Structure 1
Amino acid sequence: MDQDHLNKLAQKFLEGTATDVEKAQLHEWYDRLSASGEIPEDAEALRLRMQQQIARRTAGKVRWYRLTAAAAAVLLLVSTGVYFLRSSKPAQEAVKTHHYKQDVAPGGNRATLTLGDGSVIELDSAQNGALGSQGNTQVIKMAGAQLAYDNGDPGGREVFYYNTVNTPRGGQYQIILPDGSKVWLNAESSLRFPTAFSGDERKVELTGEAYFDIAKDAAKPFVVQVNRMEVEVLGTEFNIMAYANERTVNTSLLRGAVRVRSGGAGSLLRPGQQAQLHKDGKLNVVNHPFIEEEAAWKDGMFIFNNAALENIMRRICRWYNVEVDFTSEKLKGQLFTGQVARQENLSEVLKMLELTDAVHFDIENRTIVVKQ
């Protein structure tokens, strides 16, 4: 992170205007700095100022604990009203977490590409460069786990095929579509799209979760088909979460405007709103005060605001490719707020939750056992 960007994030944090994602980026910067063992005086002064700001904003509402873990500024709040700050400074008071005999590494950039002829390419092992041509379009694997489509002869006769990118559990990938639109595909997801957009719309099909940054084209709307819902846009940024094991299909709008349709119902979303399609077909639109957290995954963070443990564990299971076993049904409803980097090993994420002393875990043969 360059110094100018860091200064802007720090200023926004101290003014109380930083988004959840910006806060997470700032915390992650300090976490990396702390891990290096060399913390400049100005960085430590910034941490103390941040800590003071948090204390002022939460005065009278929470109790403080300084923990011995050697990382900094990872926040965790549980529904009991106890606020936790992992500090780089050792302290007398700490909530004990146990050592995990087994651990699981985080997910990474893994995906497969199915071409129009049915052949499959393992993108994580493929070399950077041209992967092949389909019609007028060249398929290119770029650095940074990106897949791009280059229509080298846009004036020629349009010949296109349908491609599908699939991410497994524990996988993610970025796609640059033929029109320049960018798509971040989360774990256990798929995107089906043509190698060239013809006709009067740009249509793709999604399962799972993806974040879209759509190139503007007023003459050719972009349409995402997901389950029983369509999301239509001209140029905007939004997140769609449509996993089969979730209660609703959620479309979260960060910028621009989108129209969602399902059956005979439809609604126009504004930034900060989320459309929720229920399994019975009911479509609701709600104002989401923490809309940025819905897309935090693409920036490498888990961010939760008053989320049930059952929902948190579903996200963790998809990213770490593990299963979960609750020893008590009542544990599923425990509410947590917090943030932690997705690049951490599974044990570190679970330890963050254990710091609340409200829940504990074991890892047994890629299964998380949740217990009191």
Structure 2
Amino acid sequence: MISEALLHIITLHLNDEPLTATQEHALQEWADTSFYNEEALKLLNDKEFLRNAIQQREDTALAREENWQKLLQQIKRQPAHSTFRPVLLWRQHWKAIAAFLVLAAGALWIWHANSLQQQRAHTNRTTSQHISPGTNGALLKLANGTLLVLDTMKNGIVAEQKDVQVMLRNGRLAYAATGPSSGVPAYNSVITPKGRQFSLVLPDGTLVWLNAASSIRYPTVFTGKERKVEVTGQVYFEVAPRAGIPFLVNANNRAMIEVLGTHFDVNAYENENNIAATLLQGKVRIRYLATGNHASVVLTPGQQALLQQALNSMHLPITVINHADTAKVIAWKRGIFNFEGAGLYDMMHELERWYDIEVIYEGAIPDIQFFGKMSKSVQLTDLLEGLKVSDIHFRIEGRKLIVMP
């Protein structure tokens, strides 16, 4: 449901009226909520699309119910060469019109995407084998070593442990204390295999999202003067603030990230050259865990720290990127592949983890950069069709994707 305040902002935007900084932030935040909102906003900037969308609405039952005929006739009476900018009309009916246009933009984008997918289905494919994209799911390892497959579990209590109940709420794991803490805390782990991603709420209220092939280990109750977790792979945090009790993230036993209350992403896959910590809100301190390496940095929002994963990282410095592309970094959390400026090797790492495949190169890795975004819900064969324009050739054998010269 879109709020009236947001609909009003969209109306101002449609009329090319200036927005305040707060309004611009709210509009961008809405667009960033999902890939479909982002694409809908792009369509809303297209005046020809707006005219066509309203005309299409004339044939719908919803149009009859809301008496859009008068509106459509006013638009049709405009001279063909006139600019579509119905300021007075928007001010009279801004709520209904803006709501419709947002829905129409999203619907037409989805229709367009489905049409492209159907067209591809009739073309010659790289292979007849379909490899489906990843989905929501994970393994939960309890303190006693029991492994629970969360993919198929329904909402409700999934386990009871010392002092806590573990629950699923709308596909997200959460904890509820059943009494005061009684000594040494138990530890749980959430593990996402390849082809899975998942989210959970830690016992302190911190929100966590795990990308494919990632893990987090944490206590079922946070006690003492710090909150400490261990992660591998790629994990996004929205840390619940607790005065005087810092939040610590051990990233792949290579780096320690100290948090006081913030939103950040850490990428600590073992097959990547660097551990990357990217800050969106707040402040974090990052340091090496290698003995003898005392390098550390404090990040401010928009910065990214790169720490080399080399075992001999005794004296390696930490590289800081001041204007990191934060939207690209967390695109995975929004269900999007963002390949802006990515090389083939980096792209294939993402595909390996999301589609649970192995990529093999026959010959040298082509030196190619890619640009653009794509929904992570597409079939692998559909994605590969889009790469043919770059003169990249593939074949699939089982779950192996072979890149051919």
Which sections of structure 2, spanning at least 5 residues, go unmatched? 19-23, 43-49, 57-107
Aligned to 2:363: 328
1:311 is aligned, of 343, 346, 353, to 346
Q: Higher Cα Rg: structure 1 or 2?
A: 2
Instruction: Determine if contact 2:273/2:308 at 8 Å carries over to the other structure.
Output: yes
Aligned to 1:350: 384
Aligned to 2:320: 285
In the alignment, is residue 341 of structure 1 matched against residue 375 of structure 2? yes
SS at match of 1:220: coil
CA distance in 2, matches of 1:346, 1:23: 21
Alignment of 1:78-227 (within 5 A): 98-99=124-125, 100-143=127-170, 145-154=171-180, 157-158=182-183, 160-226=185-251, 227=253
After TM superposition, the structure 1 stretch with the greater mean CA deviation from structure 2, 120-129 or 290-299, is: 120-129
The CA deviation at 1:304 is 1.9
1:256 is aligned, of 282, 295, 302, to 282
Q: How many residues matched? A: 321
Instruction: Determine if contact 1:137/1:195 at 8 Å carries over to the other structure.
Output: yes
CA distance in 1, matches of 2:308, 2:10: 37
Cα distance, 1:119–1:88 mapped onto 2, change above 3 Å: closer
Aligned to 1:236: 262
When normalised by structure 2's length, the TM-score is 0.70
Aligned to 2:97: none
Aligned to 1:25: 36
Aligned to 2:404: 371
The CA deviation at 1:158 is 4.8
Aligned to 1:50: none
Cα distance, 1:111–1:44 mapped onto 2, change above 3 Å: farther
SS at match of 2:225: coil
CA distance in 1, matches of 2:263, 2:223: 22
CA distance in 1, matches of 2:133, 2:196: 9
CA distance in 1, matches of 2:396, 2:267: 27
The CA deviation at 1:301 is 0.6
Cα distance, 1:284–1:97 mapped onto 2, change above 3 Å: farther
Cα distance, 1:215–1:169 mapped onto 2, change above 3 Å: same
Q: Give the counterpart letter for 2:36 in structure 1.
A: Q
Cα distance, 1:349–1:21 mapped onto 2, change above 3 Å: farther
Instruction: Determine if contact 2:345/2:365 at 8 Å carries over to the other structure.
Output: no
Q: Give the counterpart letter for 2:167 in structure 1.
A: I
**Higher strand residue share:** 1
Instruction: Determine if contact 1:308/1:334 at 8 Å carries over to the other structure.
Output: yes
2:395 is aligned, of 358, 362, 365, to 362
Superimposed CA distance per residue, residues 223-277 of structure 1 (whole angstroms, 9 cap, x where no aligned partner): 0001210001111111111111111111111111111011301100011111111
Cα distance, 1:151–1:40 mapped onto 2, change above 3 Å: farther
Structure scoring higher RCO (CA < 8 A, sep ≥ 6) equals 1
CA distance in 2, matches of 1:190, 1:261: 20
Instruction: Determine if contact 1:309/1:335 at 8 Å carries over to the other structure.
Output: yes
Aligned to 2:335: 300
Cα distance, 1:86–1:137 mapped onto 2, change above 3 Å: closer
Instruction: Determine if contact 1:134/1:160 at 8 Å carries over to the other structure.
Output: no
SS at match of 2:279: strand
The CA deviation at 1:120 is 1.3
The CA deviation at 1:88 is 6.6
Instruction: Determine if contact 1:160/1:196 at 8 Å carries over to the other structure.
Output: yes
Q: Give the counterpart letter for 1:352 in structure 2.
A: G
Q: Give the counterpart letter for 1:129 in structure 2.
A: G
CA distance in 2, matches of 1:187, 1:6: 35
The CA deviation at 1:132 is 2.4
The CA deviation at 1:138 is 1.2
**Higher helix residue share:** 2
Which sections of structure 1, spanning at least 5 residues, go unmatched? 32-38, 46-70, 74-84
After TM superposition, the structure 1 stretch with the greater mean CA deviation from structure 2, 320-329 or 247-256, is: 320-329
CA distance in 2, matches of 1:113, 1:44: 51
CA distance in 2, matches of 1:162, 1:351: 44
The CA deviation at 1:323 is 1.1
When normalised by structure 1's length, the TM-score is 0.76
Instruction: Determine if contact 2:257/2:284 at 8 Å carries over to the other structure.
Output: yes
CA distance in 2, matches of 1:27, 1:214: 26
CA distance in 2, matches of 1:203, 1:224: 6
CA distance in 1, matches of 2:233, 2:286: 17
CA distance in 2, matches of 1:43, 1:230: 54
Cα distance, 1:44–1:244 mapped onto 2, change above 3 Å: farther
Superimposed CA distance per residue, residues 163-193 of structure 1 (whole angstroms, 9 cap, x where no aligned partner): 0111111011111000000100111111100
CA distance in 2, matches of 1:343, 1:149: 29
The CA deviation at 1:43 is 7.9
Aligned to 1:269: 299
CA distance in 1, matches of 2:227, 2:322: 28
Cα distance, 1:23–1:43 mapped onto 2, change above 3 Å: farther
Instruction: Determine if contact 2:274/2:306 at 8 Å carries over to the other structure.
Output: yes
SS at match of 2:240: coil
